[in-house]
Amino acid sequence: MNEIARRWRVLAGGTAAGVAAVVGFAGATASAEPVLPQPPLPMPVTVTQTVAVPPDVAATPQALGQPGVTPATPMPAGIAAPAVPAPPPVTITPASTGTLADFFNSKGVKLEPQNSRDFQALNIVLPVPKGWSQVPDPNVPDAFAVIADRVGGNGLYSSNAQVKVYKLIGDFDPKEAISHGFIDSQMLPAWRATDGSLADFGGMPSSVIEGTYRENNMTLNASRRHVIAMAGPDKYLVSLAVTTSVDQVVAAADATDAIVNGFKVSLPGPPAPAPPLPAPGLPQSPSGQGAQAALPQLLGQPG
């Protein structure tokens, strides 16, 4: 009987402890039963690892709260560092009013027309297409040179190109001046622009605009370029106007393109080397041998 009683007391005690544990976990009422101690948590294991640190990194102090600084890695031998991009070119905003003549007048700048016979301050190249020739034209005031198509045309109008050169006497900003380069063309009757740019021309401030306008009941196609050239302390305005009738645009395209694309303004210097002659027995290139091939003409010099 004593042995049976001891087993019941052990069983009763185990049951009471289990009930107390459940009540304490649920948290509904406080338990006066003692809490069994939890097994101790395992202690963290310390792992020692040796890391090789470069001398330059180890010697660099790091301030608290500051981002880490990664030391510059030298470029391998034979590999060039990437080039720093050049700053973008200065953008010129086209003026909304006032021609170049109006601008120079407002600045007190005097325009002196130049004569091609004795002009040596600049090299001005005007290509002369086949069938075109220099002509005197009293309708072009202050003309430096005028060339015209003496073969084509429509019987009423001949395609032509005009160059004017003025020496600019006075103080002004060339970039500000060239922003007015579109206005004289935009003032033509029924002007409709097809293209335009204020990009430099051979390193000189320049404007070029292309479009159509009406004159004497005809529609004309025009390309006009202005260049402000600086030769030492002197400044010059060089202007090129190429004009043809709309019904002759296709027929005159090779000639007018040769003039527009071959026109050059530069400072005097040594003459450009002549192109090499083809080797004997080799066929010559057909480039420049068509009916509209243009020969460059250095204005102010003998042809």
Q: Which of the two residues, 80 and 214, has the higher pLDDT score? A: 214
The model's pLDDT over 178-219, given as tens digits with 9 standing for 90+, comes to 999 999 999 999 999 999 999 999 999 999 999 999 998 999
The candidate with the shortest Cα–Cα distance to 118, out of 162, 169, 167, 160, is 167
- Asked if residue 239 lies in contact with residue 224, where contact means CB atoms within 8 angstroms, the answer is yes
Q: Say how many C-beta atoms besides its own lie within 10 A of residue 144's C-beta.
A: 23
Whether the model pTM is above 0.85: no
What pLDDT score was predicted for residue 153?
A: 82
For residues 300 and 125, give the distance between their C-alpha atoms in angstroms, rounded to a whole number: 9
Count of alpha carbons within 13 angstroms of residue 275, beta-carbon side: 7
What pLDDT score was predicted for residue 119?
A: 95
First to last CA, the chain: 145
What pLDDT score was predicted for residue 96?
A: 94
Count of alpha carbons within 13 angstroms of residue 75, beta-carbon side: 6
Q: How far is CA 74 from the centre of its chain?
A: 32
> Is pLDDT of 145 > 80?
yes
Exposed/middle/buried for 131, CB within 10 Å: 0-12, 13-18, 19+? Answer: middle
The one-letter amino acid code at 258 reads A
- Map residue 176 onto helix, strand or coil: helix
130-144, 210-224, 248-262: segment of lowest average pLDDT: 130-144
Q: Kindly state the percentage of the chain with pLDDT values over 70.
A: 59
For residues 73 and 135, give the distance between their C-alpha atoms in angstroms, rounded to a whole number: 69
Question: What are the strands, taking DSSP E only, across 198-233?
Answer: 206-215, 218-231
Bridge partners, 196 (sequence order): 209
Give the chain's mean pLDDT.
Answer: 76
Q: Mean of the pLDDT values across residues 216-245?
A: 96
Q: What is residue 252's DSSP assignment?
A: T
- Asked if residue 157 lies in contact with residue 245, where contact means CB atoms within 8 angstroms, the answer is yes
For residues 126 and 233, give the distance between their C-alpha atoms in angstroms, rounded to a whole number: 25
Q: If you average pLDDT over each of 28-37, 152-161, 258-267, which comes out highest?
A: 258-267
What pLDDT score was predicted for residue 172?
A: 97
What pLDDT score was predicted for residue 294?
A: 62
Enumerate domains of the chain plus CATH numbers.
100-270+294-299 (3.40.1000.10)
> Is pLDDT of 286 > 90?
no
What pLDDT score was predicted for residue 271?
A: 58
The model's pLDDT over 32-54, given as tens digits with 9 standing for 90+, comes to 444 445 555 444 444 444 444 44
The model's pLDDT over 153-175, given as tens digits with 9 standing for 90+, comes to 888 889 999 999 999 999 999 99
The one-letter amino acid code at 201 reads F
Report in angstroms the alpha-carbon separations of 227 from 108, 198, 241, 252: 19, 10, 12, 24
What pLDDT score was predicted for residue 137?
A: 77
111-120, 202-211, 288-297: segment of lowest average pLDDT: 288-297
What pLDDT score was predicted for residue 50?
A: 44
